[in-house]
Amino acid sequence: MTLDPRVHLPPIELLKKLISIPSPYPHENPLAEWIGDYLKQFQFHVTYLEVKGRKNIVAKKGTGKALLLFGHLDTVPLQGVEDLNPHAPDDLRQINARASELRWESPPYEPSLRKGKLYGSGAIDMKAGLAAIIHAGTKLPEDYFQSTELILAFSVDEEFLDQGMAALLKSRTFEHAQGCICPEIIDTGELIDIPETPDIGTILLGRRGRIAIEVQLRGQAAHGATPSAGVNAIELAGQVVAHIKKSLAEGALALGSHPILPPASMTPLKIQGGTSSLSVPDRCTIEYDRHFVPPETPETVQEDLRRCLSEILTPNQFKISLAPRPTPYLMPYAISQEASIVNATLSVLKARDIPITIAGGNSVADENMLASPVYPPEIRHNIPTVDIGCKGGNFHKENEWVDLESFQDLASILKEICIKWAN
Ligand SMILES: [Zn+2]
């Protein structure tokens, strides 16, 4: 790999470089290697922690109380060309040839500057954050590292199954970190109406948790010509979907609320059943998405649902369980506002006269695993984590962008927070 000259890249050049190295999962390695090589130039001790051949990065420098800056390397694959690998020249040519058909106004992996916005896949989610971390980490004065250990950690697979974060946590390589900043997209509940992330000043001190619940329905098979002789599991599924929707609307099936996190939510994601023979289908499965907030737990959520379905079904007609997932589900968290990382963040924002909003994240992220206290000991890290981000939009879709002025502020603010926290 050819590396840029041994100089600091200014934040915008750094961001452009990161956008120009595609990293849709599972193709993160070229980006991981470039970042690792860049950090080594600034005396970071860089290790790659591989999960199924994909490289997480942990870069450490200094000694003393430990601060973690965390980001994810992967971006979501472009819809319509998910199977193409942008690191294969033929595939990349195809992606670029189809850019306008995919509704991109410029090639997705070539940073393009228009009216103060930098466009490109991953621009706001979260290459701007990665560039801010790398800028902050490499611009701190050398004496900073005499009393502080700065750990930069970058994961793979955040946008899919969080396999990178799960591996990082199992390695316990940064379990001693006393605080964490993650410059991730700030997806507060209000984003439903505004397709942009807020400017710097809105910080996330928690996120909702999320599970997928399977409702397995059992009817009674019969010849399809005599449907009344059986119980059609697909019709049971229809009743279940309608009953849950009505119970949610009337509040009979309660959804949790929390002082800073967006309210809990529930919606069906998948329905699977039926038979190719002329028989009344006797089984059907519905998968529900359930975002939840403390004090709700996966157990209380399933118990409430069981009670709700008992109103229309007999016990042998249904079974409720968590949908299988190879990595742990993402549990909710809300950190203490007294945490030193919160204090450091707030005081830097106040010193710059930036209006502050404290919020909770709508969606789940690797930070759930890092910060939630409710994991079993082999995973649990319980590191107070603050999400701070800049202004951008169109994340997870075409023409993703980041506001350059806002990004530059983020890069310098992140460095100031590191200094404030250490003092
Ligand atoms: Zn993200």
Q: Please compute the mean of the pLDDT values over residues 255-267 and round it to a whole number.
A: 96
- pLDDT bucket at 53, cuts 50 / 70 / 90: very high
> Is-contact 283 217, C-beta < 8 A?
yes
* The pLDDT value given to residue 198: 87
CA 8–ligand 1 middle distance (angstroms):
25
CA 72–ligand 1 middle distance (angstroms):
7
**Percent of the chain's residues with pLDDT above 90:** 94
- pLDDT bucket at 195, cuts 50 / 70 / 90: confident
What distances in angstroms separate CA 421 from CA 68, 408, 413, one per listed residue?
11, 20, 12
> At which residue do the structure tokens 């450490």 appear?
60
> Is-contact 58 79, C-beta < 8 A?
no
pLDDT tens per residue, range 24-50: 999 999 999 999 999 999 999 999 999
Q: Does residue 6 register a pLDDT over 70?
A: no
* Per-chain mean pLDDT for the chain: 95
Q: Please compute the mean of the pLDDT values over residues 293-302 and round it to a whole number.
A: 97
CA 70–ligand 1 middle distance (angstroms):
11
Q: Does residue 206 register a pLDDT over 70?
A: yes
> At which residue do the structure tokens 């203490």 appear?
336
Q: Which residues neighbour 47 within 8 Å (Cβ) at sequence distance 6 or greater?
A: 57, 58, 59, 173
pLDDT tens per residue, range 368-420: 999 999 999 999 999 999 999 999 999 999 999 999 999 999 999 999 999 99
Q: Which residues neighbour 314 within 8 Å (Cβ) at sequence distance 6 or greater?
A: none
What's the maximum distance between 2 C-alpha atoms anywhere in the chain? 82
Determine the Cα–Cα distance for residues 42 and 54; give it in Å rounded to an integer. 24
Q: Please compute the mean of the pLDDT values over residues 113-132 and round it to a whole number.
A: 97
- pLDDT bucket at 304, cuts 50 / 70 / 90: very high
CA 74–ligand 1 middle distance (angstroms):
8
Instruction: Provide the Cα torsion 404, 405, 407, 408; round to 10°.
Output: 120
Q: Does residue 263 register a pLDDT over 60?
A: yes
pTM of this prediction?
A: 0.93
Q: Does residue 3 register a pLDDT over 60?
A: no
Q: Does residue 193 register a pLDDT over 70?
A: no
CA 143–ligand 1 middle distance (angstroms):
32
Gyration radius of the chain over CA positions:
24
Q: Please compute the mean of the pLDDT values over residues 213-234 and round it to a whole number.
A: 96
CA 125–ligand 1 middle distance (angstroms):
4
Q: Does residue 258 register a pLDDT over 90?
A: yes
CA 186–ligand 1 middle distance (angstroms):
9
CA 320–ligand 1 middle distance (angstroms):
31
Q: Does residue 1 register a pLDDT over 70?
A: no
Q: Please compute the mean of the pLDDT values over residues 64-68 and round it to a whole number.
A: 98
Q: Please compute the mean of the pLDDT values over residues 204-231 and round it to a whole number.
A: 97
Residues with CB under 5 A from ligand 1 (ion): 125-126, 184
CA 319–ligand 1 middle distance (angstroms):
34
Q: Does residue 233 register a pLDDT over 90?
A: yes
